[in-house]
Structure 1
């Protein structure tokens, strides 16, 4: 292995089932996703405050069948004292490249070499190109995988490219998934910096949403309203996951459902409705439970995940998906609990909605008590052994599944709007306070109040591995492993 790298700065020169979109598909080939912890670790090392260049190696897994998504999961910092560092120049030893290759080989990872531009030049120089031709070949031959190169400027913005041969191909998008969802698009970047995020609620916001993919799990009372809003906001690709069919009792709260749709799959009915008023996007319907391998592999292609389910199992899968595939997750729920009256009747105790925002590496839904192991067990027993469930509830081992009044469409709309606005706020910050303070929002209509909870108020249990990708068994769940073939 030869020397690590020599960089100098030059002055900038002036099944996808239901796939039947009627128009252009969302065009993107390669995305690099950096969980907040990884991005922050890179930034802290690359900019120690001395104005000199620094270097690191980023390891990550590559996922996706229809477009490639690189998930950064480990940073190998090259010590400052091992390098020759200048404000626009760095030489660093090859032993750290060898370390990165060894770790990558052990897990099947790809390697991206990252260095800083303290002066803020957001472009690769001629010296970068020359160095990469040597370094990228060494990494590719060592790992037998595509290699990547990236630069970071003091703001934390990243621009990256990959090498499958001698030719560099830019990543279309680099995304940081943290308290805010930061996006740096290659075609909007200039040497002076990345494209600034557009103002929320504008036509420019709609144009950027047209470049993103959002997966919605659950297309019923709340999910159909979330999907409707996102479609009309111009989201470029919408993935709908729901195994259920339209029933007559659903017609009071599922948008676009009619009497003629009874017995049809919810995802197909809604996908067809979107296609009737959108010709510039793509709708993918997945008529499966999210607890299936097919649904998970479809969902992981998206940039953002929205959970509109009413089961602990569905939220558990969403929790794991968000962590393993480094996806920002929005979870929405509604409830109208009742309580007994002295006269034997019942009254509404509260009417509330909840929106949780979870980013990869942050506190999860299970950390926040949205569901727990007891609820997961109760649902399993309800499906497989209802008599055993009744005995366990009677014995006090489980708290059971409370029967709550069904959410009506007005409440669903309020909650769905809160969810979509939260998504907009993370992509296009517009609040007068930090988004960190809104990890959870609960509104209570009977009391006429709203409670908010900061990320720091939740205990992070680090329950799920971050950016593991499609490692087997999928999501760490044996039930989702590749089925064995019987000879």
Structure 2
């Protein structure tokens, strides 16, 4: 069942500017949307179309007539990928409810949308917005029955449910926050050192649905860093996701846990992750991080990426010493600077990882020749450091939904901490150059993420 509609902060601002021209009369726009998640749990905005005021034959404070040309334009765009069409209009008076006039308008327009772009189940819909940016939305099935969308997420520096604007604010760390988390879905990619701790924190905060993605199994060398793991798990070579899911069920049996025992670069893992309201990237590889940032961008999911390192140095006698004990947490908006823009993912690093996995002899030659500077490796066995990073990452997510920072969130796109120096540094997005992309809000259009290797089997065969 579709539980949310998500749009970026810039899309929300664009929509608000289009349908509130300042004359006190209703205006309209159209959202072209796509469903994500294996059960179409989320609806995301792909395009925002303007409906010119001049094209509307009637505009009043409580009524607007929909021009056929604008609806035809939306159909022309939507029919290529079977997209959903959401008709949006303003309520300048501030009433955040669908009126009887709105109901009658939907009865007149929805059959035409279904005749042009068909799909099973609830699909096309309508929405209203008030001057403060609050929204309410509903989707229809082809029989004419409607279903209200419970959550409408605006993802920017803050993550805001614009369906709840105007209601009493929720205090962080209280029971109301816990209840809110119970209606949300989080995905943890990689559940080893940091990922197992992130999953534990999310479960203890009673997240409603927890998606765990990891291809690996428990080994004896993991027992000093994966929470809840046991010798029995290592002896049985149990999958990390299954072990964590079983642990969660012991203390939080109401949480829905989905386990994906594959790498994030597998088709099923990408589709599973696309159901999330928030993603945590806790993987060691640049390749995994690259897939995570693509899912974030294509499916409009905020992403928190974290990692820890313990660099060493050698003195004049050749003895090794700890140079630093540090960690990094990045908060990535879908339409903001991604991990590639921030230098966390690089083409050189991706190439080095590929060679090390598929052509180790060639990689060794290039390392010796100085062409590969080395592959970044996360510290694998320091649980205390992992706990620090995991806690900061989950707190970052809480702060984005229930802001309590004195200076706001704009200056906290990246957090770097050095335990050796006793320092914490914060960076805004201003220090990163955001490269242009063309897959924002792409959704689950084939091939997934634009990668031929993730295409459906029949499409691969045809290629």
* TM category, shorter: over 0.9
- Number of corresponding residues: 454
Superimposed CA distance per residue, residues 366-406 of structure 1 (whole angstroms, 9 cap, x where no aligned partner): 11001111111111111111111112223333222156754
- The answer to whether the aligner puts 1:462 opposite 2:439 as a matched pair is no
Q: Compared with structure 1, are the counterparts of its residues 67 and 143 closer, same or farther at alpha carbon in structure 2 (3 Å cutoff)?
A: closer
Name the CA distance, whole Å, in 1 between partners of 2:261 and 2:435.
Answer: 33
- The answer to whether the aligner puts 1:138 opposite 2:112 as a matched pair is yes
Name the CA distance, whole Å, in 1 between partners of 2:77 and 2:394.
Answer: 40
Name the CA distance, whole Å, in 2 between partners of 1:122 and 1:234.
Answer: 30
Query: Could you tell me how far 1:268 is from its partner in structure 2?
Result: 0.6
Give the corresponding residue for 1:244. Answer: 216
Moved over 6 A (4+): none
Superimposed CA distance per residue, residues 397-448 of structure 1 (whole angstroms, 9 cap, x where no aligned partner): 3222156754511110000000000000011111112212111111111111
Provide the aligned C-alpha RMSD in A.
1.8
- The answer to whether the aligner puts 1:147 opposite 2:121 as a matched pair is no
Name the CA distance, whole Å, in 2 between partners of 1:404 and 1:326.
Answer: 27
Could you state the TM-score of these two structures normalised by the residue count of structure 2? 0.94
Q: Compared with structure 1, are the counterparts of its residues 128 and 284 closer, same or farther at alpha carbon in structure 2 (3 Å cutoff)?
A: same
Could you state the TM-score of these two structures normalised by the residue count of structure 1? 0.89
Q: Which of 185, 207, 220 is matched with 2:192 structurally? A: 220
Name the CA distance, whole Å, in 2 between partners of 1:433 and 1:403.
Answer: 33
Superimposed CA distance per residue, residues 244-284 of structure 1 (whole angstroms, 9 cap, x where no aligned partner): 11111111111001111101111111110000011221111
Q: Which of 139, 144, 162 is matched with 1:162 structurally? A: 139
Give the corresponding residue for 1:200. Answer: 172
- Match of 1:59, SS state, is strand
Q: Which of 348, 353, 356 is matched with 1:382 structurally? A: 356
Give the corresponding residue for 1:266. Answer: 240
- The answer to whether the aligner puts 1:30 opposite 2:7 as a matched pair is no
Question: Which structure 1 residue ranges, 5 or more long, are not aligned?
Answer: 1-27
Query: Is the CA contact 1:57–1:113 (under 8 Å) kept in the aligned structure 2?
Result: yes
- The answer to whether the aligner puts 1:68 opposite 2:41 as a matched pair is yes
Query: Is the CA contact 1:32–1:175 (under 8 Å) kept in the aligned structure 2?
Result: yes
**Structure having greater relative contact order (Cα 8 Å, sep ≥ 6):** 1
Name the CA distance, whole Å, in 1 between partners of 2:98 and 2:89.
Answer: 11
Superimposed CA distance per residue, residues 337-391 of structure 1 (whole angstroms, 9 cap, x where no aligned partner): 1122122112222111111111111111111001111111111111111111112
Give the corresponding residue for 2:205. Answer: 233
Name the CA distance, whole Å, in 2 between partners of 1:175 and 1:432.
Answer: 23
- The answer to whether the aligner puts 1:418 opposite 2:392 as a matched pair is yes
Give the corresponding residue for 1:436. Answer: 410
Question: Which structure 2 residue ranges, 5 or more long, are not aligned?
Answer: none
- Match of 1:342, SS state, is coil
Query: Is the CA contact 2:193–2:380 (under 8 Å) kept in the aligned structure 1?
Result: no
Q: Compared with structure 1, are the counterparts of its residues 134 and 403 closer, same or farther at alpha carbon in structure 2 (3 Å cutoff)?
A: closer
